[in-house]
Amino acid sequence: MTDRRRINGPPSGTSPPVFASSLSSKVFPAKRKRAPDELRKIFLKTGLTPSASGSAYLELEPSTPTAAHKSLATKAPALKLTCTVHGPRPLPRSAPFSPQLSLSTRIKFAPFAARQRKGYVPDAGERDLAAHLETALRGVLIGERWPKSGVDVVVTVLEGGEDALWNRGQSSDGGRTGGWGMMSILSGCITVASAAIIDAGIDCIDVVTGGVAAIVRQPTAPPQVFIDPCPADQEEIYATCVVGYLQTRDEITELWTKGNVTLSIDLGFEHLLDQAVEAAVAARLVLIEAIKESTEIKVQTSRIGHPKNAAS
Amino acid sequence: MSRHKLVKALDLDEELDDFDGGAESDYGEEIGAEDKEQLRVGTARVRDVLGPGVSIRDREIEDSLWHYYYDVDKTVDYLLGQRTNSQTPKKTKKQRTAAEVKQPDAPINSTQDWGTGDHITTSDTFSSWAAPFSTADFFSDCPWLNIPGDRHGDILIEPLYPRGGLLGGSSKSDGAPKSKLAALAAARKQKEIQKAEDGQNATNSAALLDKLIGKPRQLKPDGAPISSSGTPLSAITEQTVKEQPRKYPRRKSKRLESPEDDQPAKKTSQKLSCSASPEIEKPPEIIPTAGPSVFAQIIFGAPAGSQQHEVYTSDRYMLRPDTYTEFDFAGPSPDDVVTKAQNTKGPTKKPVKQPPQPPSGDQGVNAVAQSVGNVTIEEPLVKRKNLDVAAEFEKSKPKNAANFVVIGHVDAGKSTLMGRLLYDLKVVDQRTLDKYRKEAERIGKASFALAWVLDQGTEERNRGVTIDIAMNKFETKTTSFTILDAPGHRDFIPNMIAGASQADFAVLVIDASTGNFESGLKGQTKEHALLVRSMGVQRIVIAVNKLDTVQWSRDRFDEISQQISAFLTSAGFLAKNLAFVPCAGLTGDNIVRKAQDPHASWYTGAPLISLLESSEPVTRALEKPLRMTVDDIFRGGVQNPLSVSGRLDAGNVQIGDTVVIMPASQTATIRGLEVDSESSDWAVAGQNVVLHLADIEAKYLKSGDVVCPPSAPIRCVTSFTVKILAFEHITPMHCEVHKGRLHAPGRVTKLVAQLDKASGAAVKGKKPRLIKPGSVAKVLVEVDDPIPLEQGGKVILRAGGETIGAGLVE
């Protein structure tokens, strides 16, 4: 249902004119230049939203630098996520009694997040992602310490990588909400939500991070497992696996696999899973760094006092 | 190791818990099977890590595992810390070894298990760490404000404030008022930070963060806890060392040990090692951190160094007058302050108003004010006047009252005739009628203007048919009449039944114009006549209407009279109770005045109004128990939130009476009473009344309910026998039971007997399987929900939009 109170943009982006000259350089699908076990660089920072009790921002740059392309049309999308955590706060009176922290997650694509504009009402894909995120986070929160209270985790996808280059014709249409790109986004969501939860100071048994790996067809060689596949890389993916992983406890809180794993017989499911865990472990390093940074600032602020307090 | 650490290592909660001897056994029982399994696995792991050199009891390991949610690393740390603490004083150790020899099961770590351990050990250990705490020692180094010069210092660290971030409310603790929970969270946070500061805060927090990184602690090259415990690194197996760069060793080891068939296992392990090999080269410190993109730079502002400056130079702190203080939303807002002041004005004004008086007078005023405040306004109870209603009624020398229902085929001119009657009797004034006439002309129905006097509804007027009973009143010198104008259309027969049930006699209107009479006779003329007869109406006045359209033909009138009287006598009316009058509603001839048309000179009888007046006064069942069928429920005004209207079928009622509403069987008090739209103290059977009720809720009332006295409430029945006159073929069938306003779905369950029409005796023979139209029979009727009925009540059975029978309840 469209929202008639707002002036909505066209359902899909209008394509900028592509002039003949630029077509002379053929639009190559970007190729992965990273090693199979190399992550894209992650930018993660907490404390973006002061009004929330915890917040974080995560950015994954596309593996191919955008400067390489002159044409706007082939600009590879990045992944930009913000997460805010509100709470723990008392449940409304109308809510039934809950002996532990009740977690509610929401993932929303900004209308401009992808080439295909999203509506304001969460669609099935977004709700599905939110459910996965909830599973990932539920396993890490110590809910018993916060009875009768709730926490809202809201992830906004500011820029979500698309499954296919938009100008290569309509890809399989199911990809709009449920393609391989969703898996990378979920992995990012887990990491950024974890950072925001830690920023909010909610008790956790460990730090959960998301990791993703995919079995990718090689033109000549047998299929190989790539860590952190980028949707812009135009790989032909057989199967993808996302995990939410707790490293110190060696536990998995969330596991989502899609595709046909059996296509690559010698690379079993376990291997795919291992690689996803590998990605999660690497993402954890970034997360720890981000937490360290924000913790240092907090410690100093609390010791010295905020200038505002001093003034008043 | 500082004393702080000692104090911290003492887990007070646990100490206190364990002191209660029985607590521990309970604790053990609570553990489920799953937990036990986890404990077992955890213990094995801890043992692995600790190695054989360390002797710690399983129980202890399990306890600490439980405490740390099966976190092996933490457990190991804790246990090692425990050991070092307890081992430092040599004396105790010796003591303990002795104890161990003596009692092999005795706890090694005396801080655990006080309840079960022997007392010597406990007291010793206690002294071992309690002794060093002398206040003199503790404050030995304190200069007590006489700080030597070399200790003075200036702290000039530039504070690193959090960046500005996005716009939004403050997340600081001094921000807006918080909920209790948020405050608790903040307090917790604060405490944690405080704790971190307390000790060697820098190293401590670093250690904490190191822990987060998840490297197994014993692998750290400078692993402080391990070296302090003196446990050799040999505790770590070769395998773990090899797996270390993979960062999740336990998972791998488990997998390698798993009993798979050899060939694939080897293959995987080889593959793993080769896939892992490039990672060994890659130092784990390489963190895939990216710099912020342009977008991120904008939303986070410039990097920390210059950004701090920015905070200071922002207008928030600088470009304000010195006197300006930012409103921090902690206190009430200015608006709130004003509102509060305004609200408190009232009470504060009072003492100002009071003139200075001697204290005694002041007290008096206060007392009055207080007592006024104490007064509660109670609902005035309705007083019953205990009237003898029958005597009052006699005294009032009432005019004859008569309700009559106007019946006839659709478009026979019932409403128009009545409208004419009212107009000629000056009940409706000329102006109103002119207005109706104009409006009716506008929609092209000029001839309906008179009917609009009674047909008030928009739909009724647009369609030109009466839909619901219209009630109106008029008085002549001797009698006061109530007109019940019934709808003629066959779809609205239930409404007609409701009206007919209140009537004393009927006016049957017949369309005399060519063709219409015949169609009417086939249509509702007959059905209506039968219905009113079965409702107990005995007297009927037949108004042969629209005679002006047939030039007042006497032949026509006679023909109609003959046919109708033949039919009515066969239906059970007595010939003496029939009266025929030729009239014309539209022109008003022979209604109130004699017809002026020369063609009508042959009629010498009285006009319609005289025939109505000649109706015999009905006998009123004044002394019977009260029965009133509720016709309508409405809000009678501000004073009377709930009123019901209807006709008193029997008995009498007065203000203050308590009545019971059936079938809800709720009592109510009569707060007020109106008879013919004038308030009165009492009412008797035959009158149309409005009762204003109190002490009852509207949900208990619906039209068709019966108002009765509490002493003799009407019975609500679900099955009853009816003696009916059949209009259609009756078999055991579904039907609708009508009684006045009330109608309920039900069914004829049994045909009890066929009765002889003349004698009323049951016809001999076998039980009837079918009752033919026109015959009289006794049938058993059942309804789904109980309906208030009593003997002699008149009911009508309808099915599929047709009246199938009417009769008396037995």
- Residues B385-410 have a mean pLDDT of 76
Mean local confidence (pLDDT), B307-319: 40
Average of per-residue pLDDT across A206-228: 87
**What mean pLDDT comes out for the span A293-300?**
88
Is residue A18 one of the residues assigned to a domain? Answer: no
- Res B452 pLDDT > 70: yes
At residue B775, the pLDDT reads 79
pLDDT band at B535 (very low <50, low <70, confident <90, very high): confident
Angle at B675 between CA B670 and CA B680, to 5 degrees: 65
- What sign results for the dihedral spanned by CA atoms B606, B608, B610, B615? positive
**Which CA distances in Å does B235 have to B46, B50, B218, B351, B745?**
10, 6, 9, 86, 89
Q: Is A265 on the interface with B (CB under 8 A)?
A: no
**B725 with B806: CB under 8 angstroms?**
yes
Q: What is the mean predicted confidence (pLDDT) over A262-272?
A: 75
Q: What is the pLDDT of residues B205-225, one digit of tens each?
A: 445 555 555 444 343 344 344
Neighbours of B471 (CB within 10 A): 17
pLDDT digits (tens, 9 = 90+) for B61-73: 888 888 888 888 8
Report yes or no: A121 at the B interface, CB cutoff 8 Å. Answer: no
| Rg of chain B, C-alpha, whole Å | 52
- Using CB atoms within 10 Å of the CB of residue B658, give its burial: 0 to 12 exposed, 13 to 18 middle, 19+ buried: middle
Dist CA B502 CA B484 (whole Å)? 8
The minimum CA-CA distance between A285 and chain B, rounded to whole Å, is 6
Three-class SS of residue B726?
A: strand
Q: Are strands B505-511 and B539-545 parallel, antiparallel or unpaired?
A: parallel
- Beta-carbon count within 10 A of B281 CB: 7
The shortest CB-CB distance from B296 to any of A57, A89, A306 is to: A57
Place of tokens 């599973």: A135
Judge whether B64 and B79 are in contact, CB under 8 Å: yes
Q: For residue B15, what pLDDT is reported?
A: 56
CB atoms within 10 A of CB B277: 10
pLDDT of res. B215: 44
The region of weakest confidence among A34-38, B227-231, B437-441, B537-541 is: B227-231
Report the pLDDT averaged over residues B119-146: 57
Query: Residue B533: what pLDDT?
Result: 79
Q: Where is average pLDDT lowest: A161-165, B162-166, B341-345, B376-380?
A: B376-380
| Whether the Cβ atoms of residue B69 and residue B35 lie closer than 8 Å to each other | no
User: Does the pLDDT of residue B630 top 70, yes or no?
Assistant: yes
Q: What is the pLDDT of residue A196?
A: 95
CA separation for the pair A89, B447 (Å, rounded): 74
pLDDT band at A137 (very low <50, low <70, confident <90, very high): very high
Q: Provide the pLDDT for residue A94.
A: 86
Given a cut of 90, is residue A106 above it in pLDDT? yes
Please, which residues 441-480 of chain B have a Cβ atom closer than 8 Å to chain A?
none
Selecting from B295, B312, B317 the residue whose C-beta is nearest the C-beta of A80 gives: B295
Question: Is A67 domain-assigned?
Answer: yes
Rounded mean pLDDT of B691-716?
84
Note whether B278 contacts A: Cβ–Cβ < 8 A: yes
Mean pLDDT for chain B overall: 70
What is the C-alpha to C-alpha distance for residues B536 and B334, in angstroms, rounded to an integer? 78
* CA B285 vs CA A289, A293, B16, B87, B213: distances in Å: 11, 16, 43, 36, 11
Q: Which residue of B lies nearest to A295 if distances are taken between CA atoms?
A: B205
pLDDT band for position A174 (cuts 50, 70, 90): very low
Distances from the Cα of B9 to the Cα of B57, B77, B79, angstroms: 19, 11, 11
Tell me which amino acid residue B60 is.
E
Q: Is A52 exposed, middle or buried (0-12, 13-18, 19+ CB in 10 A)?
A: buried
Q: What is the DSSP letter of B105?
A: T
Q: Is the pLDDT of residue B4 over 90?
A: no
B289:A248 CB<8 A: no
Cross-chain residue pair B159–A304, CB shorter than 8 Å: yes
How far is the alpha carbon of A78 from chain B, nearest alpha carbon, in Å? 10
Q: Does residue A1 sit within a domain? A: no
pLDDT > 90? residue A191: yes
B69, B293, B312: residue with CB nearest A78: B293
Cβ of residue A248 closer than 8 Å to a chain B Cβ: yes
* Mean of the per-residue pLDDT values of chain A: 81
Report residue B777 as tokens: 């029979």
d(CA A223, CA B751): 87
| Cα nearest neighbour of B168 on chain A | A51
pLDDT in tens, B720-759: 888 887 878 888 888 888 887 788 888 888 888 888 766 6
Residue located via tokens 């047909």: B455
What value does the mean pLDDT take over residues B511-520?
81
What phi, psi does A109 have (nearest 5°)?
A: -85, 130
- pLDDT tens for B723-732 read 887 878 888 8
Asked whether the predicted pLDDT for residue B111 surpasses 90, the reply is: no
CA B514 to centroid of chain Cα atoms = 61
Looking at residue A58, its pLDDT comes to 94
Provide the residue type at B698 as one letter. Answer: A
pLDDT band for position A164 (50/70/90)? low
CA B399 to chain centre: 52
B149, with CB counted inside 10 A (0-12, 13-18, 19+), is exposed
Rounded mean pLDDT, B547-558: 84
The two beta strands, A149-159 and A102-109, are: parallel
Q: Is B806 helix (H, G, I), strand (E, B) or coil?
A: strand
Q: Do A285 and B293 touch (CB under 8 A)?
A: no
Q: Which domain, by its residues, includes A73?
A: 34-94+101-306
Q: B648-687: per-residue pLDDT in tens?
A: 878 888 888 888 888 888 888 888 888 877 788 888 887 8
Give the model confidence (pLDDT) of A14-29 as tens digits.
777 766 655 445 555 5
Query: Does the pLDDT value for residue B98 go beyond 70?
Result: no
Q: What is the mean predicted confidence (pLDDT) over A152-180?
A: 63
* B 158-177: CB under 8 A from A: 159-163, 165-166, 168-172, 174
**Domains (ranges, CATH) in chain B?**
400-613 (3.40.50.300), 627-708 (2.40.30.10), 716-809 (2.40.30.10)
Query: Of the candidates B574, B629, B616, B577, which has an alpha carbon nearest to the alpha carbon of residue B794?
Result: B629
C-alpha distances in Å from residue B172, one per residue of A50, A127, B169, B190, B303 = 8, 32, 9, 11, 22
Q: How close does chain A come to B20, measured CA to CA in Å?
A: 25
Using an 8 Å CB-CB cutoff, list chain B residues near A43.
Answer: 289-293, 296
pLDDT band per the 50, 70, 90 thresholds, residue B605:
confident
% residues pLDDT > 90 (chain A): 40
pLDDT at site A253 = 94
CA distance B169 to B177: 12
Residue B229: pLDDT over 60: no
Residue-wise pLDDT tens digits, A55-86: 999 998 775 554 445 555 556 678 899 999 99
Least confident window among B8-22, B415-429, B432-446, B662-676: B8-22
Q: Which two tokens stand for residue B503?
A: 């009537």
Q: Could you say which of B170, B181, B290 has the minimum Cβ distance to residue A59?
A: B290
- pLDDT-based confidence at residue B233 (cuts at 50, 70, 90): very low
pLDDT band per the 50, 70, 90 thresholds, residue A152: very high
Q: What percent of chain B is predicted at pLDDT more than 70?
A: 64
Look at residue A7 and tell me if it is in a domain.
no
pLDDT of residue B127: 42
Task: Write down the H helix ranges in B68-154.
Answer: 72-87, 90-102, 119-130, 135-138
Residue B389: is its pLDDT beyond 90? no
In the prediction, which pLDDT does B210 show?
53
B317 lies within 8 A of chain A by CB: yes
pLDDT band at A245 (very low <50, low <70, confident <90, very high): very high
| Phi then psi dihedrals of residue B488, to 5 deg | -95, -20
For B128, what's the count of Cα atoms within 13 Å in the CB-facing half-sphere?
A: 23
Domain-located, residue A166? yes
Q: What's the CA gap between B649 and B658, in Å, rounded?
A: 17
Are A210 and A136 in contact, with CB atoms under 8 Å apart? yes
For testing contact with chain A, the best of B179, B212, B277 (most A CBs within 10 A)? B212
Segment A253-265 shows an average pLDDT of 81
Q: What is the pLDDT of residue A251?
A: 93
Least confident window among A298-302, B231-235, B562-566: B231-235
pLDDT digit string, tens, across residues A51-61: 999 999 999 87
Residue B647 has pLDDT above 90, yes or no: no
Is residue A283 within 8 Å of residue B211, measured between CB atoms? no
Residue B305 is predicted with a pLDDT of 42
Looking at the domain assignment, is residue A29 inside a domain?
no
Q: How many domains does chain A have?
A: 1
User: pLDDT-derived band of residue B351, with 50, 70 and 90 as boundaries?
Assistant: very low
Closest partner CB to B171 (pick from A51, A289, A312): A51
Asked if B144 contacts B287 with a C-beta cutoff of 8 angstroms, the reply is no
- Is any Cβ of chain A less than 8 angstroms from the Cβ of B189? yes
> B554-571 and B524-534 helices cross at what angle (nearest 10)?
40
Report the CATH number at residue A161. Answer: 3.30.230.70
Q: What is the pLDDT of residue B208?
A: 54
Higher-scoring residue by pLDDT: B465, B284: B465
Please give, rounded to a whole number of angstroms, the shortest distance from the CA of A89 to a CA of chain B: 6
Residues constituting chain B = 810
Instruction: Report residue A135: phi and psi, to 5°.
Output: -60, -45
Query: Whole-angstrom Cα distance, residue B479 to residue B393?
Result: 16
Question: Closest Cα to residue B731, out of B709, B754, B715?
Answer: B754
The CA distance from B288 to the nearest CA of chain A, in Å, is 5
- B153 has pLDDT over 60: yes
In a domain, A25, yes or no: no
Helix, strand, coil percentages (3-state) for chain B, rounded to 5, are 45, 20, 40
Spatial distance between the Cα atoms of B768 and B747, rounded to a whole number of angstroms: 17
Most confident of A132-141, A261-270, B300-309, B404-413: A132-141
Over residues A30-44, the mean pLDDT reads 82
User: Quick check: is A20 in a domain?
Assistant: no
Size of interface A-B (CB pairs under 8 A): 165
Angle CA B303–B306–B308, to nearest 5? 95
